Structure 1
Amino acid sequence: MSEEYAAATEFYDLMATPYVASVEPTLTALLAEVDTVAGPVLDIGAGTGLSTMLVADAVPDARIVAVEPAPAMRAVLLSRLAARKDLRERITVLPYGFLDAELPAHCSAVVALGVIGHFDAATRPRVWRAIAAALAPDGTAVVEVQRPGCVEVSPERRYTQARAGLLRYEGWSRAEPVDAESLVWHMTYRTYHDERLLREVVASHRVWPAAAERLAREAHAAGLSLASTDTATGLLRFTKHP
Protein backbone atom coordinates (compact mmCIF):
# COMPACT_ATOMS: atom_id res chain seq x y z
CA MET A 1 0.00 0.00 0.00
CA SER A 2 2.86 2.40 0.77
CA GLU A 3 4.33 1.90 -2.72
CA GLU A 4 0.93 2.32 -4.36
CA TYR A 5 0.41 5.68 -2.70
CA ALA A 6 3.96 6.88 -3.43
CA ALA A 7 3.06 7.38 -7.10
CA ALA A 8 -0.12 9.31 -6.26
CA THR A 9 1.24 11.57 -3.52
CA GLU A 10 2.45 14.26 -5.93
CA PHE A 11 -1.12 14.85 -7.12
CA TYR A 12 -3.09 13.81 -4.06
CA ASP A 13 -3.90 17.19 -2.52
CA LEU A 14 -4.76 18.86 -5.83
CA MET A 15 -7.14 16.05 -6.75
CA ALA A 16 -8.74 15.87 -3.30
CA THR A 17 -9.76 19.53 -3.05
CA PRO A 18 -13.42 18.97 -4.13
CA TYR A 19 -13.72 16.02 -1.73
CA VAL A 20 -12.43 18.04 1.22
CA ALA A 21 -14.88 20.85 0.46
CA SER A 22 -17.79 18.41 0.31
CA VAL A 23 -17.05 16.54 3.51
CA GLU A 24 -15.88 19.39 5.77
CA PRO A 25 -19.29 20.75 6.88
CA THR A 26 -20.64 17.31 7.77
CA LEU A 27 -17.51 16.17 9.59
CA THR A 28 -17.42 19.43 11.55
CA ALA A 29 -21.04 18.93 12.62
CA LEU A 30 -20.43 15.29 13.63
CA LEU A 31 -17.49 16.30 15.83
CA ALA A 32 -19.18 19.36 17.33
CA GLU A 33 -20.18 17.65 20.57
CA VAL A 34 -16.95 15.73 21.14
CA ASP A 35 -15.66 16.07 24.70
CA THR A 36 -11.94 16.59 24.19
CA VAL A 37 -11.32 16.33 27.93
CA ALA A 38 -11.88 12.59 27.58
CA GLY A 39 -8.84 12.12 25.37
CA PRO A 40 -7.29 12.77 21.96
CA VAL A 41 -8.91 12.41 18.56
CA LEU A 42 -7.51 9.49 16.58
CA ASP A 43 -7.20 10.01 12.80
CA ILE A 44 -6.78 6.65 11.07
CA GLY A 45 -5.09 6.68 7.67
CA ALA A 46 -4.26 10.36 7.86
CA GLY A 47 -2.59 10.42 4.44
CA THR A 48 -1.13 13.82 3.56
CA GLY A 49 -2.96 15.35 6.50
CA LEU A 50 -6.07 16.67 4.78
CA SER A 51 -8.31 14.79 7.20
CA THR A 52 -6.05 15.77 10.10
CA MET A 53 -6.43 19.44 9.23
CA LEU A 54 -10.22 19.02 9.05
CA VAL A 55 -10.20 17.50 12.53
CA ALA A 56 -7.85 20.20 13.85
CA ASP A 57 -10.19 22.93 12.60
CA ALA A 58 -13.37 21.15 13.72
CA VAL A 59 -12.08 20.48 17.25
CA PRO A 60 -9.56 23.29 17.86
CA ASP A 61 -8.79 22.33 21.44
CA ALA A 62 -8.20 18.62 20.79
CA ARG A 63 -4.97 16.71 20.86
CA ILE A 64 -4.75 14.56 17.72
CA VAL A 65 -2.99 11.29 17.01
CA ALA A 66 -2.62 10.69 13.27
CA VAL A 67 -1.77 7.18 12.04
CA GLU A 68 -0.25 6.89 8.55
CA PRO A 69 1.89 4.01 7.26
CA ALA A 70 2.89 5.38 3.82
CA PRO A 71 6.19 7.32 4.01
CA ALA A 72 5.40 9.55 1.01
CA MET A 73 2.03 10.57 2.46
CA ARG A 74 3.51 11.02 5.90
CA ALA A 75 6.22 13.32 4.53
CA VAL A 76 3.56 15.75 3.31
CA LEU A 77 1.73 15.57 6.64
CA LEU A 78 4.92 16.32 8.57
CA SER A 79 5.65 19.23 6.22
CA ARG A 80 2.27 20.69 7.15
CA LEU A 81 3.17 20.42 10.82
CA ALA A 82 6.61 21.95 10.23
CA ALA A 83 4.90 25.07 8.91
CA ARG A 84 2.44 25.29 11.79
CA LYS A 85 3.95 25.50 15.27
CA ASP A 86 0.48 25.55 16.82
CA LEU A 87 -0.33 22.20 15.22
CA ARG A 88 3.03 20.64 16.03
CA GLU A 89 2.26 21.07 19.71
CA ARG A 90 -0.95 19.05 19.56
CA ILE A 91 -0.61 16.55 16.68
CA THR A 92 1.33 13.29 17.00
CA VAL A 93 2.05 11.28 13.84
CA LEU A 94 2.49 7.51 14.21
CA PRO A 95 4.39 5.86 11.32
CA TYR A 96 2.50 2.57 11.38
CA GLY A 97 -0.46 0.77 9.94
CA PHE A 98 -3.56 1.08 12.12
CA LEU A 99 -3.50 -2.52 13.34
CA ASP A 100 0.23 -2.34 14.08
CA ALA A 101 0.17 0.92 16.04
CA GLU A 102 0.03 1.27 19.80
CA LEU A 103 -3.12 3.36 19.99
CA PRO A 104 -4.02 5.78 22.75
CA ALA A 105 -6.78 4.70 25.12
CA HIS A 106 -9.89 6.75 25.94
CA CYS A 107 -10.00 8.67 22.65
CA SER A 108 -12.74 11.27 22.54
CA ALA A 109 -13.25 10.47 18.85
CA VAL A 110 -11.94 8.26 16.07
CA VAL A 111 -12.03 9.44 12.44
CA ALA A 112 -11.48 7.09 9.49
CA LEU A 113 -11.93 8.71 6.07
CA GLY A 114 -11.15 6.64 2.99
CA VAL A 115 -9.88 3.78 5.15
CA ILE A 116 -12.31 0.96 5.84
CA GLY A 117 -12.32 -0.30 2.25
CA HIS A 118 -8.62 -1.14 2.48
CA PHE A 119 -9.40 -4.02 4.85
CA ASP A 120 -10.95 -7.29 3.68
CA ALA A 121 -13.93 -8.91 5.37
CA ALA A 122 -11.73 -11.21 7.45
CA THR A 123 -9.71 -8.29 8.82
CA ARG A 124 -12.46 -5.72 9.40
CA PRO A 125 -13.66 -7.26 12.69
CA ARG A 126 -10.19 -6.54 14.12
CA VAL A 127 -10.46 -2.97 12.85
CA TRP A 128 -13.87 -2.43 14.48
CA ARG A 129 -12.68 -3.97 17.77
CA ALA A 130 -9.61 -1.71 17.75
CA ILE A 131 -11.78 1.36 17.16
CA ALA A 132 -14.13 0.35 19.97
CA ALA A 133 -11.22 -0.34 22.32
CA ALA A 134 -9.67 3.06 21.59
CA LEU A 135 -12.86 5.03 22.26
CA ALA A 136 -13.74 6.58 25.60
CA PRO A 137 -17.16 5.50 26.97
CA ASP A 138 -18.95 8.52 25.45
CA GLY A 139 -16.69 8.74 22.40
CA THR A 140 -17.68 9.17 18.76
CA ALA A 141 -16.37 7.29 15.72
CA VAL A 142 -16.83 8.73 12.23
CA VAL A 143 -16.22 6.21 9.45
CA GLU A 144 -16.62 6.87 5.74
CA VAL A 145 -18.34 4.36 3.47
CA GLN A 146 -16.23 4.38 0.34
CA ARG A 147 -18.14 4.34 -2.94
CA PRO A 148 -19.23 2.22 -4.57
CA GLY A 149 -20.43 0.12 -1.66
CA CYS A 150 -20.39 -3.03 -3.78
CA VAL A 151 -18.17 -4.77 -6.32
CA GLU A 152 -18.97 -3.47 -9.79
CA VAL A 153 -17.25 -2.24 -12.91
CA SER A 154 -16.65 1.50 -12.96
CA PRO A 155 -15.83 2.81 -16.46
CA GLU A 156 -13.00 5.29 -16.81
CA ARG A 157 -14.01 8.86 -16.06
CA ARG A 158 -12.37 12.15 -15.23
CA TYR A 159 -13.35 12.73 -11.64
CA THR A 160 -11.62 16.07 -11.11
CA GLN A 161 -9.25 18.63 -12.55
CA ALA A 162 -7.22 21.48 -11.07
CA ARG A 163 -4.83 24.22 -12.10
CA ALA A 164 -1.56 25.39 -10.57
CA GLY A 165 0.22 28.22 -12.34
CA LEU A 166 0.44 27.48 -16.06
CA LEU A 167 -0.30 23.79 -15.70
CA ARG A 168 -3.54 21.85 -15.64
CA TYR A 169 -3.96 18.55 -13.80
CA GLU A 170 -6.57 15.85 -14.42
CA GLY A 171 -7.51 12.85 -12.31
CA TRP A 172 -9.07 9.81 -14.01
CA SER A 173 -10.33 6.61 -12.42
CA ARG A 174 -11.71 3.21 -13.37
CA ALA A 175 -12.42 0.06 -11.37
CA GLU A 176 -12.31 -3.64 -12.27
CA PRO A 177 -13.62 -6.46 -10.07
CA VAL A 178 -11.07 -8.98 -8.82
CA ASP A 179 -13.55 -11.37 -7.20
CA ALA A 180 -16.92 -11.23 -5.45
CA GLU A 181 -15.48 -9.20 -2.55
CA SER A 182 -12.88 -6.87 -4.05
CA LEU A 183 -11.93 -4.64 -6.96
CA VAL A 184 -8.91 -2.72 -8.19
CA TRP A 185 -9.03 1.03 -8.75
CA HIS A 186 -6.76 2.31 -11.51
CA MET A 187 -5.99 6.00 -11.01
CA THR A 188 -4.40 8.06 -13.79
CA TYR A 189 -2.95 11.52 -13.18
CA ARG A 190 -2.18 13.72 -16.21
CA THR A 191 -0.32 17.01 -16.32
CA TYR A 192 -0.92 19.41 -19.22
CA HIS A 193 0.53 22.68 -20.46
CA ASP A 194 -2.34 24.04 -22.54
CA GLU A 195 -3.30 20.89 -24.49
CA ARG A 196 0.15 19.31 -24.44
CA LEU A 197 0.48 16.28 -22.17
CA LEU A 198 3.62 16.67 -20.08
CA ARG A 199 3.33 13.70 -17.77
CA GLU A 200 1.12 10.73 -16.95
CA VAL A 201 1.27 8.65 -13.79
CA VAL A 202 -0.82 5.53 -13.12
CA ALA A 203 -1.39 4.04 -9.68
CA SER A 204 -3.53 1.03 -8.76
CA HIS A 205 -4.85 -0.20 -5.44
CA ARG A 206 -7.15 -2.98 -4.30
CA VAL A 207 -10.16 -2.31 -2.09
CA TRP A 208 -12.91 -4.38 -0.46
CA PRO A 209 -16.19 -2.41 -0.80
CA ALA A 210 -18.97 -2.78 1.75
CA ALA A 211 -22.35 -1.11 2.03
CA ALA A 212 -23.30 0.98 5.05
CA GLU A 213 -25.69 -1.69 6.33
CA ARG A 214 -22.98 -4.34 6.35
CA LEU A 215 -20.48 -2.06 8.05
CA ALA A 216 -23.06 -1.14 10.68
CA ARG A 217 -23.62 -4.84 11.48
CA GLU A 218 -19.89 -5.46 11.76
CA ALA A 219 -19.44 -2.42 14.00
CA HIS A 220 -22.35 -3.46 16.21
CA ALA A 221 -20.74 -6.86 16.79
CA ALA A 222 -17.62 -5.04 18.03
CA GLY A 223 -19.54 -2.86 20.49
CA LEU A 224 -20.41 0.18 18.39
CA SER A 225 -23.91 1.53 17.73
CA LEU A 226 -24.80 3.41 14.54
CA ALA A 227 -25.99 6.86 15.61
CA SER A 228 -26.41 8.60 12.26
CA THR A 229 -25.84 8.22 8.52
CA ASP A 230 -25.13 11.01 6.07
CA THR A 231 -25.90 9.58 2.64
CA ALA A 232 -24.47 12.57 0.76
CA THR A 233 -20.96 12.11 2.13
CA GLY A 234 -21.11 8.48 3.21
CA LEU A 235 -20.13 9.39 6.77
CA LEU A 236 -21.38 7.06 9.51
CA ARG A 237 -21.31 8.14 13.14
CA PHE A 238 -20.98 5.46 15.81
CA THR A 239 -21.11 5.56 19.58
CA LYS A 240 -19.77 2.99 21.99
CA HIS A 241 -22.21 0.56 23.64
CA PRO A 242 -22.70 1.32 27.34
Structure 2
Amino acid sequence: MQPDDYAVSAEFYDVLQAHQDEIRVHHLYGRDAGRARLGVLDIGAGTGRVTMMSLMESRVGVHAVEPARAMRAPLMTRLASLPTELREWVTVHPQTLEEAALHGVADVAICHNTIACLAPAARQALWPAVARALVPGGSLLLQLPPARLPDKDIMRVFPRQRVGRHEYGGDMLMSADGDRIRTRFDYWVRGSGNALREHIETFWMWPATRAELIGDLEKHGFAPLLRRDDPAVLAMTLSSGNNVLHSRRP
Protein backbone atom coordinates (compact mmCIF):
# COMPACT_ATOMS: atom_id res chain seq x y z
CA MET A 1 0.00 0.00 0.00
CA GLN A 2 1.26 3.45 -0.92
CA PRO A 3 0.54 6.64 1.10
CA ASP A 4 -1.68 8.06 -1.65
CA ASP A 5 -3.79 4.96 -2.24
CA TYR A 6 -7.51 5.78 -2.09
CA ALA A 7 -6.82 9.42 -3.02
CA VAL A 8 -9.94 9.42 -5.21
CA SER A 9 -12.19 7.12 -3.20
CA ALA A 10 -11.58 8.93 0.10
CA GLU A 11 -13.59 11.92 -1.17
CA PHE A 12 -16.58 9.78 -2.14
CA TYR A 13 -16.61 6.93 0.36
CA ASP A 14 -18.41 8.62 3.24
CA VAL A 15 -20.99 10.20 0.94
CA LEU A 16 -21.84 7.08 -1.07
CA GLN A 17 -21.11 4.06 1.13
CA ALA A 18 -20.47 4.87 4.76
CA HIS A 19 -24.08 4.99 6.01
CA GLN A 20 -24.80 1.39 5.03
CA ASP A 21 -21.34 0.34 6.21
CA GLU A 22 -21.96 1.93 9.60
CA ILE A 23 -25.12 -0.13 10.01
CA ARG A 24 -23.28 -3.26 8.95
CA VAL A 25 -20.29 -2.91 11.28
CA HIS A 26 -22.62 -2.48 14.24
CA HIS A 27 -24.43 -5.65 13.18
CA LEU A 28 -21.27 -7.67 12.55
CA TYR A 29 -19.01 -6.56 15.40
CA GLY A 30 -20.95 -4.48 17.93
CA ARG A 31 -21.41 -7.24 20.50
CA ASP A 32 -17.75 -8.25 20.27
CA ALA A 33 -16.53 -4.69 20.78
CA GLY A 34 -18.85 -4.40 23.77
CA ARG A 35 -17.20 -7.46 25.36
CA ALA A 36 -13.65 -6.11 25.04
CA ARG A 37 -11.88 -5.78 28.40
CA LEU A 38 -8.42 -4.67 27.30
CA GLY A 39 -8.61 -2.94 23.92
CA VAL A 40 -10.02 -3.07 20.40
CA LEU A 41 -7.71 -3.22 17.39
CA ASP A 42 -9.15 -1.86 14.13
CA ILE A 43 -7.01 -3.20 11.28
CA GLY A 44 -7.51 -1.09 8.16
CA ALA A 45 -9.54 1.61 9.87
CA GLY A 46 -10.34 3.58 6.71
CA THR A 47 -12.48 6.62 7.48
CA GLY A 48 -13.32 5.23 10.91
CA ARG A 49 -16.59 3.30 10.93
CA VAL A 50 -15.29 0.41 13.04
CA THR A 51 -13.22 2.78 15.17
CA MET A 52 -16.23 4.95 16.00
CA MET A 53 -18.44 1.93 16.63
CA SER A 54 -15.82 0.47 18.98
CA LEU A 55 -15.60 3.72 20.92
CA MET A 56 -19.36 3.79 21.38
CA GLU A 57 -19.79 0.11 22.25
CA SER A 58 -16.73 -0.58 24.41
CA ARG A 59 -15.16 0.85 27.55
CA VAL A 60 -11.57 0.32 26.49
CA GLY A 61 -8.97 1.97 24.30
CA VAL A 62 -9.04 1.60 20.53
CA HIS A 63 -6.04 1.24 18.21
CA ALA A 64 -6.88 2.31 14.66
CA VAL A 65 -4.36 1.14 12.07
CA GLU A 66 -4.58 2.93 8.71
CA PRO A 67 -1.55 3.34 6.43
CA ALA A 68 -3.33 5.23 3.62
CA ARG A 69 -2.97 8.99 4.10
CA ALA A 70 -6.10 9.78 2.09
CA MET A 71 -8.28 7.61 4.32
CA ARG A 72 -6.66 8.83 7.53
CA ALA A 73 -7.64 12.43 6.75
CA PRO A 74 -11.41 11.89 7.25
CA LEU A 75 -10.64 9.53 10.14
CA MET A 76 -8.68 12.22 11.96
CA THR A 77 -11.33 14.84 11.19
CA ARG A 78 -13.97 12.54 12.64
CA LEU A 79 -11.93 11.95 15.78
CA ALA A 80 -11.19 15.67 16.15
CA SER A 81 -14.92 16.34 16.46
CA LEU A 82 -15.21 14.08 19.53
CA PRO A 83 -15.09 15.34 23.11
CA THR A 84 -11.53 15.40 24.44
CA GLU A 85 -12.18 12.75 27.06
CA LEU A 86 -13.44 10.32 24.42
CA ARG A 87 -10.76 11.15 21.85
CA GLU A 88 -8.07 10.23 24.38
CA TRP A 89 -9.09 6.59 24.06
CA VAL A 90 -8.14 6.33 20.38
CA THR A 91 -4.62 5.90 19.03
CA VAL A 92 -4.17 6.16 15.26
CA HIS A 93 -1.24 4.26 13.77
CA PRO A 94 -0.28 5.67 10.34
CA GLN A 95 1.39 2.51 9.04
CA THR A 96 0.73 -1.16 8.52
CA LEU A 97 0.18 -3.34 11.57
CA GLU A 98 3.54 -5.00 10.97
CA GLU A 99 5.25 -1.61 11.02
CA ALA A 100 3.28 -0.45 14.06
CA ALA A 101 4.72 -3.43 16.01
CA LEU A 102 1.97 -3.50 18.64
CA HIS A 103 2.26 -6.04 21.44
CA GLY A 104 -0.59 -7.25 23.63
CA VAL A 105 -2.72 -4.13 23.24
CA ALA A 106 -6.14 -5.71 22.55
CA ASP A 107 -8.39 -8.66 23.25
CA VAL A 108 -10.59 -7.97 20.22
CA ALA A 109 -9.23 -7.36 16.72
CA ILE A 110 -11.52 -6.41 13.83
CA CYS A 111 -10.46 -6.49 10.20
CA HIS A 112 -13.34 -5.17 8.11
CA ASN A 113 -13.27 -4.67 4.34
CA THR A 114 -9.50 -5.16 4.28
CA ILE A 115 -8.31 -8.75 3.78
CA ALA A 116 -9.55 -8.92 0.19
CA CYS A 117 -7.27 -6.01 -0.70
CA LEU A 118 -4.11 -7.74 0.54
CA ALA A 119 -1.98 -9.78 -1.83
CA PRO A 120 -1.16 -13.28 -0.52
CA ALA A 121 2.32 -12.25 0.68
CA ALA A 122 0.92 -9.23 2.54
CA ARG A 123 -1.77 -11.41 4.06
CA GLN A 124 0.83 -13.86 5.35
CA ALA A 125 2.82 -11.00 6.88
CA LEU A 126 -0.28 -9.71 8.68
CA TRP A 127 -1.11 -12.82 10.71
CA PRO A 128 1.95 -12.84 13.02
CA ALA A 129 1.48 -9.10 13.58
CA VAL A 130 -2.13 -9.72 14.67
CA ALA A 131 -0.99 -12.51 16.98
CA ARG A 132 1.52 -10.17 18.62
CA ALA A 133 -1.04 -7.40 19.05
CA LEU A 134 -3.60 -9.68 20.76
CA VAL A 135 -3.46 -11.27 24.20
CA PRO A 136 -4.13 -14.98 24.80
CA GLY A 137 -7.80 -15.75 24.41
CA GLY A 138 -8.28 -12.64 22.29
CA SER A 139 -10.60 -12.73 19.29
CA LEU A 140 -9.95 -11.90 15.65
CA LEU A 141 -12.97 -11.06 13.53
CA LEU A 142 -12.38 -10.59 9.84
CA GLN A 143 -14.63 -10.01 6.90
CA LEU A 144 -13.94 -12.76 4.41
CA PRO A 145 -12.70 -11.90 0.92
CA PRO A 146 -14.41 -13.43 -2.14
CA ALA A 147 -13.81 -17.17 -2.11
CA ARG A 148 -13.09 -17.33 -5.84
CA LEU A 149 -12.78 -15.26 -8.97
CA PRO A 150 -16.11 -14.03 -10.37
CA ASP A 151 -17.47 -16.04 -13.30
CA LYS A 152 -18.75 -12.84 -14.88
CA ASP A 153 -18.51 -9.11 -14.29
CA ILE A 154 -20.32 -7.90 -11.17
CA MET A 155 -21.70 -4.36 -11.08
CA ARG A 156 -22.84 -2.49 -7.98
CA VAL A 157 -24.44 0.93 -8.35
CA PHE A 158 -24.28 3.27 -5.35
CA PRO A 159 -27.45 5.17 -4.40
CA ARG A 160 -27.23 8.78 -5.49
CA GLN A 161 -26.68 11.33 -2.76
CA ARG A 162 -27.30 15.07 -2.79
CA VAL A 163 -24.95 17.53 -1.08
CA GLY A 164 -26.20 21.08 -1.50
CA ARG A 165 -26.69 21.79 -5.20
CA HIS A 166 -24.65 18.81 -6.33
CA GLU A 167 -25.53 15.15 -6.78
CA TYR A 168 -22.94 12.43 -6.15
CA GLY A 169 -23.02 8.93 -7.56
CA GLY A 170 -20.97 6.08 -8.92
CA ASP A 171 -20.62 2.36 -9.38
CA MET A 172 -18.20 -0.47 -8.75
CA LEU A 173 -17.30 -3.10 -11.38
CA MET A 174 -15.59 -6.35 -10.35
CA SER A 175 -14.04 -8.64 -12.97
CA ALA A 176 -11.54 -11.50 -13.03
CA ASP A 177 -8.03 -10.62 -14.17
CA GLY A 178 -5.61 -13.53 -13.97
CA ASP A 179 -5.50 -14.68 -10.34
CA ARG A 180 -6.84 -11.34 -9.09
CA ILE A 181 -10.10 -9.45 -9.10
CA ARG A 182 -10.00 -6.06 -10.76
CA THR A 183 -12.26 -3.63 -8.92
CA ARG A 184 -12.94 -0.36 -10.71
CA PHE A 185 -14.80 2.52 -9.07
CA ASP A 186 -16.39 5.16 -11.29
CA TYR A 187 -17.48 8.31 -9.47
CA TRP A 188 -19.29 11.38 -10.75
CA VAL A 189 -20.61 14.72 -9.55
CA ARG A 190 -23.48 16.51 -11.31
CA GLY A 191 -25.05 19.91 -10.93
CA SER A 192 -28.17 21.22 -12.69
CA GLY A 193 -28.23 18.05 -14.78
CA ASN A 194 -24.68 18.57 -16.08
CA ALA A 195 -21.61 16.45 -15.40
CA LEU A 196 -19.19 18.47 -13.30
CA ARG A 197 -16.57 15.83 -12.53
CA GLU A 198 -15.82 12.18 -13.21
CA HIS A 199 -13.15 10.08 -11.52
CA ILE A 200 -11.95 6.48 -11.82
CA GLU A 201 -9.92 4.50 -9.28
CA THR A 202 -8.93 0.85 -9.64
CA PHE A 203 -8.01 -1.61 -6.91
CA TRP A 204 -7.00 -5.26 -6.89
CA MET A 205 -8.49 -8.00 -4.74
CA TRP A 206 -7.28 -11.54 -4.10
CA PRO A 207 -9.75 -14.37 -3.39
CA ALA A 208 -9.28 -16.80 -0.52
CA THR A 209 -11.56 -19.44 0.97
CA ARG A 210 -12.58 -19.69 4.61
CA ALA A 211 -10.64 -22.95 4.88
CA GLU A 212 -7.48 -21.37 3.47
CA LEU A 213 -7.61 -18.49 5.94
CA ILE A 214 -8.27 -20.81 8.87
CA GLY A 215 -5.29 -22.94 7.85
CA ASP A 216 -3.01 -19.90 7.61
CA LEU A 217 -4.14 -18.49 10.97
CA GLU A 218 -3.77 -21.83 12.76
CA LYS A 219 -0.05 -21.67 11.99
CA HIS A 220 0.14 -18.56 14.17
CA GLY A 221 -1.69 -19.88 17.22
CA PHE A 222 -5.29 -19.14 16.22
CA ALA A 223 -8.21 -21.55 16.49
CA PRO A 224 -11.69 -21.20 14.95
CA LEU A 225 -14.59 -20.00 17.04
CA LEU A 226 -18.17 -21.00 16.39
CA ARG A 227 -19.48 -19.95 12.99
CA ARG A 228 -21.06 -16.49 13.09
CA ASP A 229 -24.67 -15.65 12.30
CA ASP A 230 -23.34 -13.79 9.27
CA PRO A 231 -21.19 -16.14 7.11
CA ALA A 232 -19.25 -13.14 5.79
CA VAL A 233 -17.25 -13.01 9.05
CA LEU A 234 -14.58 -15.46 10.20
CA ALA A 235 -14.02 -15.56 13.98
CA MET A 236 -10.78 -16.92 15.45
CA THR A 237 -9.28 -16.94 18.93
CA LEU A 238 -5.62 -16.71 19.89
CA SER A 239 -4.48 -19.66 21.97
CA SER A 240 -0.92 -18.51 22.66
CA GLY A 241 0.85 -15.18 23.32
CA ASN A 242 1.98 -12.79 26.03
CA ASN A 243 -0.03 -11.80 29.09
CA VAL A 244 -0.87 -8.11 29.50
CA LEU A 245 -2.60 -6.34 32.38
CA HIS A 246 -6.13 -5.18 31.63
CA SER A 247 -6.72 -1.44 31.33
CA ARG A 248 -10.32 -0.30 31.30
CA ARG A 249 -11.74 3.14 30.70
CA PRO A 250 -12.88 4.91 33.85
TM-score normalised by the chain length of structure 1: 0.88
Contact 2:32/2:108 (CA < 8 Å) preserved in 1?
Answer: no
Distance in 2 between the 1:225 and 1:58 partners? 25
Residue type matched to 2:16 in 1?
M
**CA deviation map 1:53-94 (0-9, x unaligned):** 1111121x1111111111111111111121112332111111
How far apart are residue 231 of structure 1 and its match? 6.1
Residue matched to 1:238: 236
Could you say what secondary structure the match of 1:6 adopts? Answer: coil
Partner of 2:128: 129
Contact kept? 1:4, 1:203, Cα under 8 Å? no
Return the TM-score normalized by structure 2.
Answer: 0.86
User: Is the contact made by 2:25 and 2:53 (CA closer than 8 Å) also made in structure 1?
Assistant: no
2:2 paired with 1:27: no
Report sequence identity in percent: 28
Distance 1:50 1:91 in 2: 13
2:142 partner letter: V
* Partner in structure 1 of residue 81 of structure 2: 83
Answer with 187-196 or 105-114: which moved more: 187-196
Deviates more, 1:192-201 or 1:49-58: 192-201
Give yes or no for contact 1:23–1:233 (8 Å, CA) kept in 2: no
Alignment of 1:192 with 2:193, yes or no, is no
Could you tell me which runs of 5 or more consecutive residues in structure 1 were left unpaired when the two chains were aligned. none
Mapped partners of 2:191, 2:68: distance in 1 = 30
Runs of 5+ consecutive residues of structure 2 not aligned to the other structure: 241-250
- Correspondence list, 1:21-100, <5 A: 21-36=23-38, 40-59=39-58, 61-84=59-82, 85-100=84-99
CA RMSD between the two structures: 2.0
Distance 2:172 2:225 in 1: 32
Please say if residues 105 and 136 of structure 1, whose CA atoms lie closer than 8 Å, have aligned partners that are also in contact.
yes
Aligned CA distance change for structure 1 residues 235 and 194 (closer, same or farther; 3 Å): farther
Q: Distance in 2 between matches of 1:194 and 1:226?
A: 53
Q: How many angstroms does 1:50 deviate by?
A: 1.6
